[in-house]
Structure 1
Amino acid sequence: MEFLIVIAFFGYIYYLRNYADLRTPSEKEAAALAEGIILYENGQTGKAYDYFDARIRQKPKSSIAYLYRGLCQHKLGDNVSALKDIQSGLSYDDQVYELHLGMGKIYLEQGETENALSAFDRAVSTSEEQSEAPYLWRAKALTRLGRVNEANLDHLHAEELKEALKTTSGKPVSKAPFFDKRLAINMAMIVMTSALLIYVVKSAESIHLPYLVAVFAAISIGFVEPYKGWLLAIMQCTFMLTGYFLLTTLPTDGARQELENFSLYGAMILTFAASFLGGFLKRALNMK
């Protein structure tokens, strides 16, 4: 039974690592490449190119790394290499609208307006109203092709979208709400892990298994919520404490009671310590 419980926790950690993170693959890549993106946005094109070139050698299938290396090459005047990189990025993830947008800009500079329009159409469809830029650039291509009415409609929609995005992202505090879908899912999982920990405390013959299970659970808390793990840790300790005293029968044997107390309170202490460790590990991995 104890072996099965440990195996179950390994399965839970695997779930947290692979399925609880609701970001898209491109969003995860962008977070991991934040250092290079900042270099690019700050105008340090040469350093940014070297950064993304090294990253592509480490991870040859990173669509975001190809995007930004291509953008760097575009800034440096090498449109042939820039287009090749952007096409490589699209071959790994064609749902990144910035890749279609970058390709369209290069085509437009080269006078290939029809190809540019096609790329901007794909940028509009994949952007999912996240940015007004695809509409503005499509309007430029439409204008060159003499389709002025369509261009005006794109300009109008771009202005409306810009205002709508400003109202939702203008306040940094409300941009990323504290209680989101991922946190709600993990709160539900905490109920299950708390119940399992109570079961282990009640059935274990020593303190070792409850402590081991508590450490696994707490590290997974910090790993999945590196900035909000403290809340999940508090929830888990609260559920453990109330569940143990309200939903279970306390032993009449003094030695057994002492063992369960050591297991319960020790597991609560480990929950806070190991959740901090898990959060530290996740933040360290995100910086790589």
Structure 2
Amino acid sequence: MEFLVVLAVFGYIYYLRNYADLRTKSEKEAASLKDGIKLYNDAQIQLAFDYFDAKIKAKPKSSVAYLYRALCYKKLGNTDAARKDLISGLSYDGTLAELHLEKGKLDYENRMLKDALESLDKAVLYDGDQSQAPYRWRGLTYQALGLDAEAQKDFLKESDILKMKLAGENQTVQTKTPFLDKRLAANSVLIVVTSAIIIVEIKGAESIHLPYFLAVISAISIGFVEPVRGWLLAICQCVFLLAGYFLFTDIPENAGRQEIENFSLYGSCILTFAGSFIGGFFKRAINAG
């Protein structure tokens, strides 16, 4: 039974790690490549190139790594290699607007205007009006093709996005995450399952160790996956533990057994708050690093 419980908890942690994270594939990749992106943004181009070159060799399907290696190639004057990297990146993620944008810019600069227009159309499509750059470059491409009316529309759109940014009214770019969302609801359901498992172990364990272990692991997971709202999930878990124990189980008549269960129950509640704090602390430390 203990093995099955531990297996269930680690399955829960696996879910939190791999499925409760609602970031897109490219956002996760960018987060994992933040050191190289910082090198590029700090104009340390050769160091950034070496970083992304190594990452691509280790993980050849990283579209974001291809994007930044292409940018490095472009800065180093090798536009042919840059274009090849952008095409490679698109073969792994054709929805990444930045790849389409950079390919469109390269094609425009090389006077491959039809190819540029095709790429910039996709950049506009996948960007979702978050940036004015795709409209600006598509407008320049339309202008070079002699399509002045279409170019003017894109330049006006570029101007509108800039104005909204300056006025702080671009809700598409800066969308505030609601406190209560589907992710929190999904994790709350899993908290019910975790609480039930802990209660089963409180009733069946011969000592306090396994219930405490399960409470700590689940609580650290809570804090790690929800560093801001983990306190709410910790409260929910404590409520579920207390309610489930007193409403759905029988209080043992044996005084020694009752003492063990009480220690397990109330200790698990305390450890839930402590563990969620520790998990949130580690997640914030990782993000800050």
Which whole-Å deviations, capped at 9, do the CAs of 1:174-222 have from their partners, x for residues lacking one? 7445544423322332233223322332333332331232233123223
- Rate the CA distance shift 1:264–1:135 in 2: closer, same or farther, 3 A: same
Q: How does 1:116-195 map to 2 (within 5 A)?
A: 116-164=116-164, 166-168=168-170, 175-195=176-196
Mean Cα deviation higher: 189-198 or 95-104: 189-198
Question: Which position in structure 2 is the counterpart of 1:110?
Answer: 110
Please tell me whether the aligned partners of residues 129 and 172 of structure 2 are also in contact (alpha carbons under 8 angstroms).
Answer: no
2:265 maps to amino acid? L
Question: Which position in structure 2 is the counterpart of 1:13?
Answer: 13
Please tell me whether the aligned partners of residues 168 and 175 of structure 1 are also in contact (alpha carbons under 8 angstroms).
Answer: no
Which whole-Å deviations, capped at 9, do the CAs of 1:24-60 have from their partners, x for residues lacking one? 1111001111222222223332332222223223322
The Cα shift of 1:256 comes to 1.8
Q: How does 1:1-288 map to 2 (within 5 A)?
A: 1-164=1-164, 166-168=168-170, 175-245=176-246, 248-279=249-280
- Residue aligned with 2:169, SS: helix
Please, what TM-score do these two structures have when normalized by structure 1? 0.86
- C-alpha separation in 2, matches of 1:223 and 1:121: 39
Which whole-Å deviations, capped at 9, do the CAs of 1:63-83 have from their partners, x for residues lacking one? 101101111211222101111
- C-alpha separation in 1, matches of 2:61 and 2:282: 24
- C-alpha separation in 2, matches of 1:103 and 1:287: 32
Mean Cα deviation higher: 55-64 or 187-196: 187-196
- Rate the CA distance shift 1:160–1:180 in 2: closer, same or farther, 3 A: farther
- C-alpha separation in 2, matches of 1:51 and 1:73: 13
- Rate the CA distance shift 1:25–1:171 in 2: closer, same or farther, 3 A: closer
- C-alpha separation in 2, matches of 1:3 and 1:80: 56
- C-alpha separation in 1, matches of 2:115 and 2:140: 13
The Cα shift of 1:261 comes to 1.2
- C-alpha separation in 1, matches of 2:276 and 2:238: 12
**Relative contact order (C-alpha < 8 Å, sep 6+): which is higher?**
1
The Cα shift of 1:97 comes to 0.6
The Cα shift of 1:92 comes to 1.3
Gaps of 5+ in 1: none
The Cα shift of 1:251 comes to 3.0
- Residue aligned with 1:167, SS: coil
- Rate the CA distance shift 1:223–1:36 in 2: closer, same or farther, 3 A: same
The Cα shift of 1:267 comes to 1.7
Please tell me whether the aligned partners of residues 101 and 120 of structure 2 are also in contact (alpha carbons under 8 angstroms).
Answer: yes
Please tell me whether the aligned partners of residues 227 and 279 of structure 1 are also in contact (alpha carbons under 8 angstroms).
Answer: yes
Please tell me whether the aligned partners of residues 67 and 99 of structure 2 are also in contact (alpha carbons under 8 angstroms).
Answer: yes
- C-alpha separation in 1, matches of 2:110 and 2:173: 39
2:269 maps to amino acid? M
- C-alpha separation in 1, matches of 2:81 and 2:101: 16
Mean Cα deviation higher: 233-242 or 255-264: 233-242
1:167 maps to amino acid? E
Gaps of 5+ in 2: none
Please tell me whether the aligned partners of residues 56 and 66 of structure 1 are also in contact (alpha carbons under 8 angstroms).
Answer: yes
- C-alpha separation in 2, matches of 1:13 and 1:53: 32
- C-alpha separation in 1, matches of 2:285 and 2:50: 22
- C-alpha separation in 2, matches of 1:244 and 1:285: 36
- C-alpha separation in 2, matches of 1:55 and 1:171: 29
- C-alpha separation in 1, matches of 2:72 and 2:63: 14
- C-alpha separation in 1, matches of 2:62 and 2:283: 20
- Rate the CA distance shift 1:170–1:87 in 2: closer, same or farther, 3 A: closer
Please, what TM-score do these two structures have when normalized by structure 2? 0.86
When the two chains are superposed, the root-mean-square deviation of aligned CA atoms in Å is 2.8
- Rate the CA distance shift 1:91–1:227 in 2: closer, same or farther, 3 A: same
Please tell me whether the aligned partners of residues 32 and 286 of structure 1 are also in contact (alpha carbons under 8 angstroms).
Answer: no
